[in-house]
Amino acid sequence: MNLKNLMDDNYLTFYMLSDKYIDDQYTTINIPVHVFKKIFRYIKKILFHFYVSFRHYSSIKDQKNKIIFYAITKNNFDSLYPVYKETKKNSVMISSDYRLAKNAVLLPQIFPLIFSIFLIPRFIKNIIDSVPNVRKRIILYLDDTLLSMGFKIFVKIYLKILKPKAIVFANYHSFPARSLIKSAECMNIPCFYIQHSAMTEIFPPIISSYALLEGKDSLKKCYPDGYSKNKVFLIGSPKFDEHKENINTNHRVKKIGICSTPSMNKDQVLKLIEKQKEVFSNDSIIFRPHPSDHINNKYKNQSIIDSVNYSDPLKEETFQFLRNVDAIISGNSSILLDAAIMNVFPILWRDSHTTNKYNEKEDPNDKYGFVKNGLAISCNSIDQINECLIVIIDEKPNVRLKAKYYVENINTNWDGRSAHYAATIIKKNI
Adjacency order of strands within the sheet including 91-95: 105-106, 91-95, 67-71, 166-169, 191-194, 210-213, 232-234
Q: Is 273 in the same domain as 233?
A: no
Average pLDDT, the chain: 92
Tens digit of each residue's pLDDT (9 = 90 or more) over 244-260 = 999 999 999 999 999 99
**CATH number of the CATH domain containing 340:** 3.40.50.2000
Q: Is 132 in the same domain as 36?
A: yes
Q: Is 210 in the same domain as 320?
A: no
**Position 102 in a domain:** yes
Q: How far apart are CA 344 and CA 314, in angstroms?
A: 21
**Position 83 in a domain:** yes
**Position 331 in a domain:** yes
Tens digit of each residue's pLDDT (9 = 90 or more) over 332-381 = 899 999 999 999 999 999 877 777 788 877 677 788 999 999 999 999 99
Tens digit of each residue's pLDDT (9 = 90 or more) over 169-196 = 999 999 999 999 999 999 999 999 999 8
pLDDT at 352: 76
DSSP 3-state assignment of 150? Answer: helix
Q: Is 263 in the same domain as 374?
A: yes
**Position 430 in a domain:** no
Q: Is 225 in the same domain as 259?
A: no
- Nearest CA to 370 out of 319, 409, 329 is that of 329
Q: Is 259 in the same domain as 354?
A: yes
| Domain extent for 157 | 3-237
**Position 9 in a domain:** yes
pTM for the full model?
0.90
Q: Is 24 in the same domain as 148?
A: yes
Is 328 exposed, middle or buried (CB count within 10 Å of its CB: 0-12, 13-18, 19+)?
buried
Q: Is 202 in the same domain as 251?
A: no
Mean pLDDT throughout 281-285?
95
Mean pLDDT throughout 5-18?
94
pLDDT at 134: 96
**CATH number of the CATH domain containing 118:** 3.40.50.11720
Q: Is 157 in the same domain as 58?
A: yes
Q: Is 79 in the same domain as 137?
A: yes
pLDDT of 300 > 80? The answer is: yes
Tens digit of each residue's pLDDT (9 = 90 or more) over 31-89 = 999 999 999 999 999 999 999 888 777 777 778 999 999 999 988 999 999 999 999 99
Q: Is 262 in the same domain as 198?
A: no
All residues at 6 or more sequence positions from 284 whose CB lies less than 8 Å from its CB, including other chains: 254, 255, 256
Of the residues 237, 260, 286, which one is the last residue of a structural domain? Answer: 237
Question: With pLDDT > 70 as the criterion, what percentage of the chain qualifies?
Answer: 99
Q: How far apart are CA 130 and CA 62, in angstroms?
A: 43
Helix ranges (DSSP H) in 212-317 = 216-222, 266-276, 291-295, 303-306
Greatest mean pLDDT among 95-104, 135-144, 201-210 lies in 135-144
All residues at 6 or more sequence positions from 103 whose CB lies less than 8 Å from its CB, including other chains: 77, 81, 93, 95
Count up the domains in the chain and report the number.
Answer: 2
User: Could you give the C-alpha distances from 205 to 202, 210, 223, 224, in angstroms and in order?
Assistant: 9, 12, 8, 10
**Position 426 in a domain:** no
Q: How far apart are CA 15 and CA 280, in angstroms?
A: 42
Q: Is 130 in the same domain as 34?
A: yes
